[in-house]
Structure 1
Amino acid sequence: MDVTPPVARFDQAYRDGDPPWVIGGPQPAVVALARDGAFRGTVLDLGCGTGEHTIHLARLGYDVLGADGSGAAVERARERAAAAGVAARFTVADALDPAGLDPVDTVLDSALFHVFDAADQARYARALAGIVRPGGAVHVLALARTGAAAEFGPVIDAAAIEAAFAGPGWTVEEITAASYRGVVTTELADAYGEPAGTRVEVPAHLARIRRS
């Protein structure tokens, strides 16, 4: 991103309905992480949106907190959890200044990192260093740059993750190719050759970063 979008833009997107990243359930890549035991100890779902991942992890018995800078998103997440009968916890928090949150062992970042500009990506990594316990991990699922004329959303190169977490206290252990499921918007229908509302899989990066 050239400039990090304001929280108000996300608030409006959630008030207007379901943004294209809301698919009614968790991302398959996150389901796979949970299946493979990637989440340990206390978990923070940062940028939780409408709460699909927090709800999924809570159902599995994880001690998880969903946090988002958008109050509208958190309100919808709480409603969704209540409707699902899941006792999931949510709070409004600034991902760039999460000092008020308790320390955690694992952070899930699904489609948050890529909305920040380069300066805020580095600031985000520094902020996480203050709440992730030594030995803990951050899992980042972010849209990958493809060079297509129309991208699904904010996109990054893998190098952006490496650069942001290059500071002391972090080790980027792995960045692999993954996919991200989203909903085609009216604006992207022609580019994808699919009608608006169609679910598609788009290229993504899946990173595991370790706190030392």
Structure 2
Amino acid sequence: MTQLPEFWNVAYDNDTAPWLIGEPQPAIVGLEAAGLIRGRVLDPGCGGGEHTILLTRLGYDVLGVDLSPSAVAYASRNAAEKGVPQARFRAVDMLRIGTDPEIATALGHFDTIVDSALFHVFREDPTARAAYVDALHTLAAPGGVVHILALSDAGPGFGPRISDTLIRESFTAGWDIEELRAASYRGRADVAPAGTAGLPVGADGTVEGAAWLARIRRL
């Protein structure tokens, strides 16, 4: 079952989220460096706001959204502390977009959507997963690209890990999966489940878990 905002609020209010590493995921930094992010950008499940902050600093028109009001507040503070107070964040339930067209209208369309560790949250909830994929299709401009960084079950890792098959089966009609490859996801070694996965701990106090990185074009 998909968790309610209150579940996620606790992680931000108490700073106990394994994904709050204080910097963007290297895989997302690599996407930008490779020129794979363009136009208007959406960062769904923005969490602590690291990717919205990064892309705002680089001059992109980007909006970070999250189900958790505490995440939005955390991201806003984070942006101000990092000297990017213009970074924009908004509390949005992505699963309501299909049933509340006003949300989609207010958000508009995006040329690039960067999903870092949100899609895999819906691994055991096919109804929510389908609603999320539909929301991505609604918000992506025709020809737009969705990048998904998701925890992988194909190697050592932590958290809600998924197979590449789940990604392929979720993005069918209306989508073209241009690339789906192995990657890694960085988490905090002092917080479970990342800290209990038995992975080597880096000098910065993080661990690297297996992940998938997908580039999916909206037809």
Q: Which moved more, 1:79-88 or 1:115-124?
A: 115-124
Per the alignment, in what secondary structure is the counterpart of residue 124 of structure 1? helix
1:90 and 2:97 matched: no
Per the alignment, in what secondary structure is the counterpart of residue 159 of structure 2? coil
8 A contact 2:199–2:207 mirrored in 1: no
Q: Which runs of 4+ in 1 moved over 6 A?
A: none
Question: CA, structure 1 residues 209+199, in 2 after alignment: closer, same or farther (shift >3 Å)?
Answer: same
Per the alignment, in what secondary structure is the counterpart of residue 23 of structure 1? coil
1:177 and 2:190 matched: no
Per the alignment, in what secondary structure is the counterpart of residue 17 of structure 2? coil
How many residues were matched structurally?
206
Question: CA, structure 1 residues 21+48, in 2 after alignment: closer, same or farther (shift >3 Å)?
Answer: same
Q: TM-score, normalised by structure 1?
A: 0.91
8 A contact 1:118–1:160 mirrored in 2: no
Give the 5 Å matches for 1:182-197. Answer: 182-184=187-189, 185=191, 189=195, 191-192=197-198
1:24 aligns to what? 22
| TM-aligned CA deviation for residue 34 of structure 1 | 0.5
Give the 5 Å matches for 1:122-201. Answer: 122-146=130-154, 151-167=157-173, 169-184=174-189, 185=191, 189=195, 191-192=197-198, 198-201=205-208
Q: Which runs of 5+ in 1 are unaligned?
A: none
Question: CA, structure 1 residues 106+18, in 2 after alignment: closer, same or farther (shift >3 Å)?
Answer: same
- Tell me the distance in 1 between the aligned counterparts of 2:30 and 2:155: 27
2:118 aligns to what? 112
8 A contact 2:158–2:193 mirrored in 1: no
Give the 5 Å matches for 1:5-84. Answer: 5-84=3-82
Q: TM-score, normalised by structure 2?
A: 0.88
Per the alignment, in what secondary structure is the counterpart of residue 32 of structure 2? helix
RMSD of Structure 2 on Structure 1 (CA) = 1.8
Q: What letter matches 2:208 in structure 1?
A: E
